[in-house]
Structure 1
Amino acid sequence: MHRFAFVIHPVDVKRDAARKYPIAKYLPERWVEQILRRKEPMVVSRITGIRSLTGVTTEGWFIGCPLSPRMMLSLPLDFVYQKIIRCGQIAQELGAEIIGLGAFTSVVGDGGITIAKNLDIAVTTGNSYTVATAIEAAVLGAEKMGIQITDATIAVVGATGSIGRTCAEALAPQAKAMLLLGRDAARLEPIAEQLRPIARGSVRVSTDLPRELPTADVIITVTSAVDAVIYPQDLKSGAVVVDVARPRDVSVRVARERDDVLVVEGGLVEVPGEVDFGFDFGFPPRMAYACMSETMMLALEGRIENFTLGKEVSLQQVQITQELARKHGFRLAGFRSFERALTDAEVEAIRERARRAVAV
């Protein structure tokens, strides 16, 4: 059996820290961050019961890195690296052969390259399978909302990142128009130039989300922002938004104020077997993020290698994870929106409200 580990960290500082330290919910966020800064990485739980369709099994551990997204962006990079490396060393000591970097631990610095150089086990960010599931969710969501991808304007928010860029590359040959959004037009334009020869329609870039997002039919958003970047007024009726970012890019106000748009959390996967994660991170049984699932499927396959690292994800890597997912029994876990499951009836109701809003 090949064993794995996966690094998790508090995304919503007070909520997530309170899962381990209940008093955290009563303290100011800055106080909680100061306490976390002095904590060492630790084993959060043991993961058991993962069984492939092939009969192969694996098990692993969640390793907790006591840093929030804001802390990772503001603290010295070497300090952050050392915390993540220590997570990997703990994994090595436990017997893991590969470790996945979750949420901001996969974003900070050079996307896992430095971490891999300082460990004797394999490392992956999980971004390849995250791309695969984001695209699958976008296409399925569009279908359920009556949107033909070939007639759609597709926006990618955070298009300069590894996940966003590859999502755009995969969808450009299908979409009527592609809209690449980010903070830096100078970094967006070279990506657009690479896509134009393969794109079915136009490819535009912009840094103005409030002006451009209302033109999009389908949106994949995957920034590294600490706070929300998409608000109720930014979305057209009937739009589909796949929010892959952690913390989420879409403001919770959208859930309260826009019942005519479909917002789904990207990258949620059903894991094969009778899985016990040993830790409640807010999902129903057997569900995990795609980045976690990539780490698990690599262990099941015995591919003990640095797989997805750095700031680029290739379509070949995405295809490999899709093949491994089918082989071992990982699949998209339906739609969830703002931490709750969406039924087909609820999606149909959103579609009907959008239809009425457009008709007015």
Structure 2
Amino acid sequence: YVSAATLAGLLAFAVAVATLPLGPAAKLGALALLVAATWRFKENLGRMLDGTEPRLGEAVPLAGRRSDEVVAAFMIHPMTLENFWSARRFAWLRPLVEKGLISEAGVRQMAESLRPMKVGELQGIRTTDGKSIRCYLLSSPLLPDVFRDNPELATRRAIEGARLAQELGAEVFGLGAFWSVVGNKGVDVQAAVPDITITNGGAYTSGTIKAAIPGILEHFAAEGRDLKQATAGIVGANGVVAFGIARTIAPQVGKVIMIGRDLERLERSAATLRRASKDTEIVTTTSYDTLKEADLIFTATSDPNPVIFPQHVKSGAWIFDEGRPADVDESVAAIPGVRVIPGGVVRPPGGMTSNIDLQFGDGQVPACLAETLIIAATGEHWRKSLGPQTLTENINFFVEQAAKLGFEVVD
């Protein structure tokens, strides 16, 4: 608010100089001063536009100030330009793009130049043991394709986000959506900012899947469908999460089709499954066309676009979609009998409120964010998820602690 007052004063000064009989140098100087100050205070003004700046006279709790409160931060990004416009600080750009005054390419270029900023806050989360959790939502508005095409920039922005989280008083910093794969899945970010705990959320994400799969299989069987005769397709099977799914369901179905980009790695993983599940047929492929055989499909890729379309799915198939953004195209829902089940969605305890739509439903968050909150609540920072490996003991830890603290998996 001091920044806003300063800019208001400088605006008045620039207008006064413009109306006085002064030379062009003085007028340009006043304008340059106004522009420089606006750039300097852009983040303060952005928070005011977003409604995340504390109001005058409002208390600003800091980590450690209250014995029953912990503070975390979580990094998000827009999935589409529609998400980009949803932030009030950027909403003014939309009509300019629609009128052709600014190109979409120009907006994307601007987004890539912006450092991480605070865009929202989760409040009202209170665990069953009485601990309050405050979570700041940070964002550098990179769109999904940037993570694929410019990973160095994405890693740099993640490191800057971790430093901002530390400045805000957060004890734990979570990497959400495509942030979770940058910098060697968070390893490089942690190395660059060692004084705050970094997590990519992989352990509890795997845990929510582990918790949900028995229920999915039970409901599938309850409809009179024989699991031992069923074929399950695993999409993204080169990844840790999808391979974990394959390992869980392989003993329970007749056939598993593992789909991924690296056939050599898939074969090594399949060999492990064949030793553990000798009665199950395990096949590997890079072709999505083989999904047409599957009665059950489990998908968990990091692709920024849908990978499963109607031509890949047969009538009556059940699909568990762990991808963020979704791996299953919306058109798949039109196939008769198909059921698409979103995965990795959690409802934190208490009455959570947020000034920004996370796209997971009212009062709900992704499992990777929930892992960030659980680490902050328990203080067990060594349980963080970094790199490609996820320890079974940590997966079990988050499942157990989530139940104790009041977190619920949405199924």
TM range (shorter): 0.7 to 0.9
Would the aligned equivalents of 2:313 and 2:332 in 1 still touch at CA under 8 Å?
no
Tell me what 1:298 maps to: 375
The Cα shift of 1:36 comes to: 0.5
2: distance between equivalents of 1:148 and 1:3?
47
Tell me what 1:15 maps to: 82
Q: TM-score, structure 1 length as denominator?
A: 0.86
The Cα shift of 1:29 comes to: 4.5
The Cα shift of 1:110 comes to: 0.9
Partner secondary structure for residue 107 of structure 1: helix
Partner secondary structure for residue 276 of structure 2: coil
Q: Does 1:67 align with 2:136?
A: no
Tell me what 2:398 maps to: 321
For residues 74-109 of structure 1, what are the alpha-carbon distances to aligned partners after superposition, in whole Å with 9 as ceiling and x for unaligned? Answer: 11x332211001111110001111111101111234
For residues 96-153 of structure 1, what are the alpha-carbon distances to aligned partners after superposition, in whole Å with 9 as ceiling and x for unaligned? Answer: 1111110111123411110111111111111111122234444433433424545432
Identity %: 33
Higher radius of gyration, 1 or 2: 2
The Cα shift of 1:6 comes to: 0.7
Greater percentage in helix: 2
Tell me what 1:168 maps to: 246
Partner secondary structure for residue 145 of structure 2: helix
The aligned runs of 1:105-254 (5 Å cut-off) are: 105-119=179-193, 120-145=195-220, 146=223, 147=225, 149-199=227-277, 201-210=280-289, 212-254=290-332
2: distance between equivalents of 1:164 and 1:228?
16
1: distance between equivalents of 2:94 and 2:239?
32
- One-letter amino acid of the structure 2 residue matched with residue 203 of structure 1: I
Aligned residues: 330
- One-letter amino acid of the structure 2 residue matched with residue 85 of structure 1: I
2: distance between equivalents of 1:25 and 1:258?
35
The Cα shift of 1:22 comes to: 2.1
Would the aligned equivalents of 2:383 and 2:394 in 1 still touch at CA under 8 Å?
no
Tell me what 2:337 maps to: 260
Distance change (3 Å), C-alpha of 1:182 and 1:326: same
Partner secondary structure for residue 49 of structure 1: strand
2: distance between equivalents of 1:29 and 1:267?
32
- One-letter amino acid of the structure 1 residue matched with residue 122 of structure 2: I
Q: Which has the higher contact order (CA 8 A, sep 6+)?
A: 1
Distance change (3 Å), C-alpha of 1:121 and 1:109: closer
- One-letter amino acid of the structure 1 residue matched with residue 340 of structure 2: V
The aligned runs of 1:308-347 (5 Å cut-off) are: 308-334=385-411
- One-letter amino acid of the structure 2 residue matched with residue 266 of structure 1: G
Would the aligned equivalents of 1:272 and 1:286 in 2 still touch at CA under 8 Å?
no
Distance change (3 Å), C-alpha of 1:316 and 1:306: closer
The Cα shift of 1:62 comes to: 0.7
Gaps of at least 5 residues in structure 2 are 1-68, 98-102
Tell me what 2:10 maps to: none
Would the aligned equivalents of 1:142 and 1:218 in 2 still touch at CA under 8 Å?
no
Q: Which moved more, 1:143-152 or 1:160-169?
A: 143-152
The Cα shift of 1:254 comes to: 1.1
1: distance between equivalents of 2:93 and 2:312?
34
- One-letter amino acid of the structure 2 residue matched with residue 61 of structure 1: Y
- One-letter amino acid of the structure 2 residue matched with residue 45 of structure 1: G
Would the aligned equivalents of 2:111 and 2:140 in 1 still touch at CA under 8 Å?
no
Give the CA RMSD over aligned residues.
1.9
Gaps of at least 5 residues in structure 1 are 335-360
Q: TM-score, structure 2 length as denominator?
A: 0.76
Would the aligned equivalents of 1:166 and 1:315 in 2 still touch at CA under 8 Å?
no
